[in-house]
A and B are shown apart, each in its own frame.
Chain A
Amino acid sequence: MEYFLTEQQKTLKSLARRIAEEKILPVRADLDEKEEFPWETIKNLAESDLFRIFIPEQYDGMGTSSLDLCLVVEELSRVCSGVAVSYAATALGAYAILLYGSEEQKQKYLPAIAAGKRLAAFGLTEPTAGSDVSNIKTTAEKTPEGYVLNGTKQFITNGGEAEIYTIIALTDKSKGARGASAFIVEKDTPGFTFGKKEKKMGIRTSSTRELVFRNCVIPAENLLSKEGIGFIMAMRVLDHSRPGISAQALGIAQGALEAAVDYARQREQFGQPLISLPVVQYKLAEMATQVEAARALVYSVARTIDSGVKNFTEESAMAKVFASDVAMRVTTDAVQVCGGAGYMRDYPLEKMMRDAKITQIYEGSNEVLHTAIAMELRKRKGRRE
């Protein structure tokens, strides 16, 4: 398929692929097995300027193209989506500052993120607030010393490893979601600690932890934008970051397709390679078609965002639900094609299948995103221009 990438985008894509194949592939199984955070790989990504591609040039970045980010995340995920999400979560944390930060906040935080010296994270989910994000309990009370944070965030990607956190907390409990605000909290702030490190089904090299705030005092200037718009801000930041997760799902599906085709070409049964059997051919052809359809949608949505349109909640949600469902289906079928070998840890497919599942759950569960799509559909009466 011709996706009309620019020369620069082709360079970026092949650089990401090189890092994935030369630096990540040799350690992939080990990182998954030991559940170790991929610091060495993060360093490689930083050295190759890949943290610069979602930061504007004036803050030492190289632009903010959503498609560029998708290309990188796809290539990394094709080999290891656990590494890819650690990278993408930094983009998520940075987006809040990028979209809503003051000039001083951008100057202070973005160059270090662009250089890959400091990772970022985004803290929204809580024990009582998953899909129902309006039910958050963490509070930020304004005092003469600054804001005092209290509460617990749950399942936070890059928790404990990131140094810059964007945290959503209630500044006015009586207003519910409209009383939420967003803050930048730095690691090592007194009163800010990390709870248990989650043991996960997939993306096991990535870090997922609780963030615990106990009378954590942060300077008043760490408020992002103004009080009361934390909820809207979170939704908008997630609209921006969601194509990255779509690209993660796409990369996993692509990696699984390649592994399945490789195996089907080599494995002989009934006196012929698996790929000569109609039942396998049908399955592989369907997988390939789905992957390509997902790619076309993800790239188109990224381009829609890059075109500067204001509202892309629906498109962003569509790309995520479609690509993540494709990832789950394709990895499951890929394991099936490879049979017993696919189920064994000596092959990468069982990991890809475990990794795929989370893409249907996080960054907005597919169920909640279907509701969001339906709401937009209702508004536009199902019509398209």
Chain B
Amino acid sequence: MNIIVCLKQVPGTTEVKIDPTSNTLVRQGIKSVVNPLDSYALEEGVRLKEHYGGKVIAITMGPPQATEILRDAISTGADDTILLSDIAFAGSDTLATSTTLAKAIEKINKYDLVICGRQTLDGDTGQVGPELAEMLGLPFIAYVSKIETIADGKIKVQRMVEDGYETIEAALPAVITVVKEINVPRLPSLRGLTRAKSAQIPTWTAQEIGTEKGTVGQAGSATWVVKVFYPQRVQTAEMLKGDPEAQVETLIEKLKEAKII
């Protein structure tokens, strides 16, 4: 069973800065870490491999420094890694990112399951998983909290919904996104760290995965950031006075005034 896990590097800090001209995150000089939710995707991939055999291929799109998170992935159980890196990929939104990942996954060709984290810490859209499934023409299950079985070319999972969970079955290959309830990611192993240090990480360019011009990077993006701003903090809290009974009466009056009740 071959499992592809998509990883993204995100700023390893809460003090992010925005580039005033492009309105995107300043990533230079900021230590990057793997998107926390993606580490659950990787852990699940490694567990599936340990249970069913096969291998885990971790892929990421990013600048050359993104090899660091791929080395981290090797230290926690990934077998192969691929970096998708090309100046043509710069400025990608989720659509262009999914296009690039889909092309790379098509090139990998032999796989049974693609696992992504539910969403990223920086973009927070949760769009890449479903877009990827659409482009690859594969079944898609979001918010997976438990993989029950994989047998006879099918995967059976539990996925989180607002008031509980659903059990869903899909044909393989499929794309799933996972939530943090699915597992507890392991720490690196000593053998993994040793392997990661010397691992050769192949880089695939736009040409190598055969993306069409205008479909990736900023040119292939359907959205662009117009403005980034911090929300204004407005203090509108009002403390009610009097004993509890009087407070309740005032509260009811005010709610009626506001036509809430």
B187 lies within 8 A of A62 (CB)? no
Q: How far is the CA of A340 from the CA of B190 in the complex (A)?
A: 41
Q: Is the CB of A47 within 8 A of B190?
A: no
* A143 part of interface (Cβ distance < 8 Å): no
Q: Could you tell me the distance in whole angstroms from the C-beta of B72 to the nearest C-beta in chain A?
A: 12
Considering the chains assembled together, what is the distance between the CA atoms of A49 and B77 in angstroms? 12
Are A18 and B187 in touch, CB under 8 angstroms? yes
Chain A facing B: main interface SS: helix
Is A48 in contact with B188, judged by CB distance below 8 angstroms? yes
Q: Which residues of A contact B191 (CB under 8 A)?
A: 49, 52, 62
Is the beta-carbon distance between B193 and A23 smaller than 8 angstroms? no
Report B-chain residues with C-beta under 8 Å of the C-beta of A23. Answer: 187
Interface size range of chain B in the complex = 10 to 19
**How many chain-A residues does the 8 Å CB contact rule pick out?**
16
Which among B188, B191, B197 has the highest number of chain A CB atoms within 10 Å? Answer: B188
Residue among A18, A47, A62 with most chain B CB within 10 A? A47
Q: Does B189 contact A (CB under 8 A)?
A: yes
Q: Which residues of B contact A19 (CB under 8 A)?
A: 187
Question: In the complex, what residues of B have CB within 8 A of residue A50's CB?
Answer: 190
- Kindly report which residue of chain B lies nearest to residue A62, judged by CB atoms: B190
From A7-15, A269-277, A289-297, the one touching the partner chain is A7-15
How far apart are the CA atoms of A44 and B189 in the complex, in Å?
9
Task: State the CA gap A12–B187 with chains docked (Å).
Answer: 12
* Nearest chain A residue, comparing its CB with the CB of B190: A49
B194, CB-defined interface residue at 8 Å: yes
A48 touches B194 (CB 8 A): no
Is there a chain B Cβ closer than 8 Å to A22's Cβ? Answer: yes
Query: Are B190 and A52 closer than 8 Å at their CB atoms?
Result: yes
Q: Min CB distance, B123 to chain A, in Å? A: 26
Q: Is A53 an interface residue (CB 8 A)?
A: yes
Residues from 154 to 198 in B contacting A, C-beta threshold 8 Å: 186-194, 197
| A90-109 vs B, Cβ < 8 Å mask (1 yes, 0 no) | 00000000000000000000
Q: How far is the CA of A49 from the CA of B193 in the complex (A)?
A: 10
The docked-state distance in angstroms from the alpha carbon of A50 to that of B189 is 8
Contact of A11 among B186, B187, B190 (CB under 8 A): B190
Chain A residues with CB under 8 Å of B192's CB are 49
Chain A's nearest CB lies how many Å from the CB of B45? Answer: 15
Q: B75: nearest residue on chain A (CB-CB)? A: A15
Could you name 13 residue pairs across A and B whose Cβ atoms are closer than 8 Å?
A8-B194, A11-B190, A11-B197, A15-B188, A15-B190, A15-B193, A19-B187, A23-B187, A48-B186, A48-B188, A48-B190, A49-B191, A52-B191
Besides A49-B191, A52-B191, 9 new A-B residue pairs in contact (Cβ under 8 A), listed by A number: A8-B194, A11-B190, A15-B187, A15-B188, A19-B187, A48-B187, A48-B190, A49-B189, A62-B190
